[in-house]
């Protein structure tokens, strides 16, 4: 038990400040869509009549080309939660770097231009970058992954210690007549054991999410070239199939899935001779799971519908469970409440450790005093 106590104390101590940062930045990110609408960061969608005929994607593409003649449309994406929001990326050359492009946001239903160069600055963007990478890129992601593993270890060791500690206490007991340290310890243990399952799910899926960059890089290096070889046509494209046509062919080939993105024939983001479409399912879980489809750039015919490898499927499944954004606003409220409870657990654990160090210093025991839950 002393070994488990040491594991729980040190694994918790090493990751607590990082987890506090993740909880504090994750709280506003849960309600990012609502905050953007309330603050006017995101343009509101216009009201449309139920009898209004839908605007074709080709018409939106034509509007974008008319606004920027001579530029190339490289890719377009539909917002996952608001499919009416369609974002187009354009640049002066088809193979220009990602940073060299600019974006146009349209209403997919009415064809109205909503915004140009949507703002990617402000508090939410700052919180997102800090939450995902600590502004350190891949190194920050991997560091957070290590902290996530320590968090999972702290949870498991805490569960092991909980049984022996609670042997003489009723479940949920808060010894209100005792000192603040004891009351804080009881609250720390109670909240921790009540949301253990949620903590494990969020912690484990968070670790998986920190591996997204290397996992997609692995797929791009080993799987994407094989995908692009399917139906390879070395001759330059004489003309490009219409976007509506390739979307229709994709939906016919994959019924029950919707198109979430279109990569146009170009050498930088895909193939110079193919359309690459990304699709999503229609259930709460499959709506977060991508499946790429390759189509001939001239005819628009489906050449290959790839299934992502197991490690990317695990990654995609982990995302909705980590972010809690697959069940609408009520689930966001639940995630926020659990996030606040986690903050109380972390602050309580930090307080107990500080008190332990202070008591050790006062009694001259040094750094070998037993953990506070003994």
Assess whether pLDDT exceeds 90 at residue 200. Answer: yes
| Predicted structure pTM score | 0.81
Residue 81 lies in a domain: no
Q: In which region does residue 231 sit, left (phi positive, over 0), alpha (psi from -120 to 50) or beta (all else)?
A: left
pLDDT at residue 285 tops 90: no
Residue 209 has pLDDT above 70, yes or no: yes
Residue 121 banded pLDDT, cuts 50, 70, 90: low
92 in any annotated domain: no
What pLDDT does residue 93 have?
85
**Residue-wise pLDDT tens digits, 312-365:** 999 988 988 898 877 788 999 999 999 999 999 999 999 999 888 888 887 765
Whether residue 75 is contained in a domain is answered as: no
Does residue 183 lie in a domain region? yes
pLDDT of amino acid 368: 44
294, pLDDT greater than 70 = yes
Q: What is the mean pLDDT of residues 282-291?
A: 82
Q: Render pLDDT for 215-272 as a digit per residue (tens, 0 to 9).
A: 988 888 877 776 666 545 556 678 889 999 999 999 999 998 999 999 998 766 667 8
Q: pLDDT confidence of 371, banded at 50, 70, 90?
A: very low
pLDDT at 65 over 60: yes
Residue 350 inside a domain? The answer is yes
Q: What pLDDT is attached to residue 47?
A: 81
Q: What is the mean pLDDT of residues 286-312?
A: 88
Quote the domain boundaries for residue 15: 2-36+124-211+325-363
290 vs 371, more confident: 290
Smallest Cα–Cα separation from 339: which of 21, 65, 52? 21
Tens of pLDDT, residues 80-105? 878 899 999 999 887 777 677 889 99
Highest mean pLDDT pick, 58-72, 110-124, 321-335 = 58-72
258: in domain: no
- Per-residue pLDDT at 372: 47
Is residue 367 very low, low, confident or very high in pLDDT (cuts 50, 70, 90)?
A: very low
Within a domain: residue 232? no
Q: Residue 199 falls within a domain, yes or no?
A: yes
Using a 10 angstrom Cβ sphere, with 0-12 exposed, 13-18 middle and 19 or more buried, the burial of residue 66 is: exposed
Q: Is pLDDT above 50 for 8?
A: yes
Number of domains in the chain: 1
Confidence at 50, pLDDT banded by 50, 70, 90: low
């Amino acid at each position: 038990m002393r070994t488990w106590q040491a594991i729980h104390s040190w694994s918790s101590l090493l990751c607590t400040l990082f987890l506090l940062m993740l909880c504090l930045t994750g709280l506003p990110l849960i309600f990012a869509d609502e905050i953007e609408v309330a603050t006017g960061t995101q343009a509101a969608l216009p009201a449309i009549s139920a009898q209004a005929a839908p605007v074709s994607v080709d018409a939106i593409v034509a509007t974008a080309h008319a606004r920027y003649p001579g530029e190339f449309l490289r890719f377009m994406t539909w917002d996952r939660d608001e499919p009416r929001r369609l974002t187009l990326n354009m640049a002066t050359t088809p193979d220009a770097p990602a940073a060299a492009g600019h974006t146009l946001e349209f209403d997919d239903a009415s064809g109205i231009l909503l915004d140009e160069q949507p703002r990617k600055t402000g508090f939410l963007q700052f919180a997102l970058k800090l939450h995902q990478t600590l502004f350190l890129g891949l190194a920050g992601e991997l560091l957070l992954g290590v902290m996530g593993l320590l968090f999972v270890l702290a949870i498991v060791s805490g569960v092991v210690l909980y049984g022996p500690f609670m042997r003489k206490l009723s479940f949920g007991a808060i010894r209100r007549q005792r000192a603040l340290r004891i009351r804080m310890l009881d609250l720390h243990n109670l909240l921790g054991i009540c949301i253990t399952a949620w903590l494990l799910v969020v912690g484990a899926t968070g670790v998986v999410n920190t591996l997204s960059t290397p996992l997609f890089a692995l797929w791009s290096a080993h799987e994407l070239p094989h995908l692009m070889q399917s139906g390879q046509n070395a001759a330059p494209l004489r003309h490009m199939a219409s976007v509506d046509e390739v979307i229709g062919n994709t939906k016919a080939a994959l019924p029950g899935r919707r198109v979430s993105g279109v990569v146009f024939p170009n050498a930088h983001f895909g193939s110079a001779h193919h359309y690459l479409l990304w699709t999503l399912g229609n259930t709460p879980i499959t709506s977060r799971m991508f499946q790429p489809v390759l189509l001939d750039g001239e005819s628009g015919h489906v050449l290959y519908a790839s299934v992502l490898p197991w490690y990317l499927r695990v990654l995609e499944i982990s995302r909705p469970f980590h972010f809690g954004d697959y069940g609408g606003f009520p689930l966001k409220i639940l995630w926020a409440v659990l996030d606040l409870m986690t903050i109380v657990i972390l602050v309580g654990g930090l307080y107990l450790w500080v008190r332990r160090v202070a008591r050790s210093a006062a009694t001259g025991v040094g750094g070998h005093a037993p953990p506070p839950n003994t």
